[in-house]
Structure formats: C-alpha cells, structure tokens
Structure 1
Amino acid sequence: MRPPIRRPLRRPPGGLPLRAVAPNAVTALALCSGLSGIRFAISAQWELAVVMVLIAGVLDGLDGRVARLLHGESRFGAELDSLSDAISFGVSPALILYLWSLHALPRFGWMAALVLAVFCALRLARFNANIDADDQPHKSAGFLTGVPAPAGAALALLPLFLWFVTEAPILRDPRLVAPWAVAVALLMVSSLATFSTGSLKLRPNIRFEAIAIVVAVGAAAVSAPWQTAAAAGIAYLLALPFSVASYARVKRLRAAAALPPSSSSLPPSA
C-alpha cells in the first residue's frame, strides 16, 4: 500500500484584518493601565495610581473612535470593553480609595469599596443588556443613563485630586470618603439623564471661542493638573441638574408632538 500523501497546511484565505485588532489593542492597553493603578496604589504612589486610571479613561474614549474609524466594531470588542471598564473604573478606583483612606474603617470602608466596584459592574451589565433594545429614550435624545463609568471613576477619585492640591487631612478621613464613594456608585446605576459628549454640538459662530477654551484647559492641565482635574469633576457635578432639566424639556416636547390635534383646531364641518 502506498503511504498517504501529506499536503502542506495552508493558511485560511484573508486572515484577521488590522481593523479588528487595533481597537481591541487599545482596550487592552486601557485594561493594563487600570491594573497598573492598583499596583502603584499598593506601593503608596498615589499620584501615579490616579494617573493610570485617568490614562485608562483616555484610552477608553479612543477605542470606540478607532473601531468606528477602521470599521472594526465587533461583539468581542464590546465585551472586552465592558470587562476593561469594570476593572479600570470600578475595581481600580475602589482599591485605590481603600488603600488610601478606607482601610482605616475596615468593615464599613471595605463595604463602600465593594459598592463602588460592584455598582460599576452593574451599570456596565445594564448597558450590555440594553445595547440592542429598541426603546431607549435617553439614547434617542442624545443622553446617557446615569453617570458613565470613566466619569464615575474620576468623581470617586475627586477627594484624592483635592488632597493632592491642599493636603488637608479631612479629605483623607474615611468618614467622608466612604459616603462619597457610595454616592458616586449610586449615580452610576441611577436613571438620571446625563450629557453625552458625542451629542454635544457647537454653533458655527462660536467655533473660535471653543478652540480657545480647549487650549486654555490644555494649558491648565499641563501647568496645574490636579487643580484642573478637581475643577473638571466639580463642573461635571454642577452640570448634572442641567442635564436632567434638559432631558425633561426634550421629553415634554416629544410628548407634545405625540398628542393628536385638538378638536378645536379642526376646520368646521359643512
């Protein structure tokens, strides 16, 4: 009998395109950055720990744009992004706050850290569950539901921003940090309508002023990063009532447009 002929293995045609790899690579870098924040917190390098979380937030904002630019959106990328967000903006800030302040209240401090991490994961689970839903009134109006995970992480770390600037001991008091962490966690899982950066549009006549403001904020972030971060967090908090009021106005306009015309506006019959 003749031995079987062994044919060389051939690669499948096409292969994996770069546009499917690049967005996931950015998401993986965000995950590495968030985990590095935990490492620096263990070493009590608080500024580097916070910087790693902020870098993860920047990368999280880039991966979706890279995916849309390269037409590399995928279900795998969406799941990886949610996993990265849960760790970078839930677990990492919770452990940083615990190691920085909350460990002084071992029982209640750890409970506050758990609430922050778990509620962030719940928010992302809710987002994934509703990603294909047809009825999304907040999204259709250009709003988000609750505080997004990156903004929630930055708000949770706001006491650290202020502590870097002032070094006031009260900012490190776990009796202040614990309820603050719980409050931020509740904002993340709330049903509040919050502004979406993708839906914000500028008028053409203020384009130059907008560029000037961006340059000024960039210069402030370079020269005084923690003051700028604290100011941005406070400004975001102050904007929450305006976002709720803006969505309520949109909701009223939609309800008025959906009403049938009144009988008094109809022409009289012959």
Structure 2
Amino acid sequence: MSTEPLLKATGLRVSYGSFEVIKGVDLSVRDGAALAVIGPNGAGKSTLFKALTGEIATHGGKVMFRGRDVTQMPAHLRTAEGMGRTFQVSRVFQELTALSNVIVALESRMRCKGERRGSWWRAAPAPSVVGEAEELLAQLGIAHLRDETAAAISHGDRKRLELALALALEPKILMLDEPTAGMAPADRMKIVDLILAIRREKGVAVVMTEHDMDVIFMISDQVLVLNYGEVIASGSVEEVRSSPIVREVYLGKDMYHAAG
C-alpha cells in the first residue's frame, strides 16, 4: 500500500491579475480521509478548490493526485482520474429526470474507461446501466424522484442528485464545495449522514468547504484554516478548535464554546 498522500498540494499560488489570492498553500489528504478547508469570506476557499480541481490555472506550486503531477491537467481529465466534484450551486441537467441525470454520468464514466454495456447500436441505455442508476438514487434517498425533472425537485434533493452524479464516476476523492449550503437543519443532517456513509462504505476521501462548524466537526479528520489566502492553522479537529488564532480570526469564542 502506497504511503504517498492521495492528494497533495505544495506551494500552491493563484493570482487574479496582480492580486495574489492563494499564497503558497500546502495540504495533503490520505486515502479515505476527510479534510475541511475553512476561513472567513474572501479567505480563498473557493479559489483553492478551483485550483485543486483544475478549473483555474495556478501560478506557482504543484498539485499531485494519485502519485501523478496534475498541475497542468484540465478539470475533465482530473475527473476521469478519480476526482469527483460538487458545487455551491448544484450543477445538474435541469431538463432531464433524476434517473436520466445519473445515466448520463454513468455512460460518461464508461466512455472514459472504454467500457461497453450492450450492443453498439442500442439507442436506449442498457438495463444494467438503468439498474445501476436506480441503485445510486436509492443510496442517496431519492429513488422516489427518478422520473422527476431536476428543475422540479427541491434544493436539498438537487444536492443529493449532484452527489449521485459524482459517485457515478467512481471517484477516489470527493471535492465538496459547501455541500449543505442553503439547507434546512433536517436536510443538512441527512447530507452529513450520507457523506459519513460514503466514507465508511466506499472508502472515498473527502475535501470540503463548509460554513457550518457542526457539520465540519462531524465529518472531518483534519481541518485547514485559510485567511487572506494563507494557511494560519492546520491539524486535527481538536487542534484547530483549541487554536487561539483560529478562534480569534474565524470561529470566535462564542462559536467555539457553542461547538464544544
């Protein structure tokens, strides 16, 4: 078994014009682990995510994924390598049904891996593909929405559908950008339970940004704290929770004691 981290960034830098947004960030995530990236608004969390997933170019440093240098690799190829991704605003095919959304993701994975299900002239998806899609919807708790268009389902269910699309690609790591944003508390807890189940049952690593500290503390093994594009703290949940600089810059004493 490899001792190399699954995902590793060293000296990562991102600039918008002359303004440096990410300033020499280092991070690493091992197989099956969960890292939360937190920080005040404007700290650079979303920019860091985009750099790690290949959505934007870096201006310094290196990104390694599964032992390969992917710093110059575009986002779609990182996805094919096993980097799943969700977004603050769910990106699903609004006009398609929930089932068709997952089928599209499954067929994309099969094309990338050179798999074939059924005859090449088949117009409809193979029964095995439909079955796999239905199973994913059931795992995410939205099997009853299989024939509903994505545009017609609730915000929380769209988040679950987006997670199903990411899982259809059989990722080694899930990059989750604000997975519970805009959700009611009950829906938030359902997403937490889903992410924990995915980690437990599939062994998938997780990197996430999230404003809800309770969600972070329930899911994450490690926490990295950004402020103005720089890492001001990194370590276990307890180490970060007890860090005076983190409490001052981000958590605040009231939030810290509430979380404890």
Q: Indicate the TM-score class for this superposition, using the shorter chain for normalisation.
A: under 0.3
Higher relative contact order (CA 8 A, sep 6+): 2
Q: Which has the higher helix share?
A: 1
Q: Which has the higher strand share?
A: 2
The TM-score, its normalising length taken from structure 1, stands at: 0.24
Using structure 2 for the length normalisation, give the TM-score: 0.25
Larger radius of gyration: 1
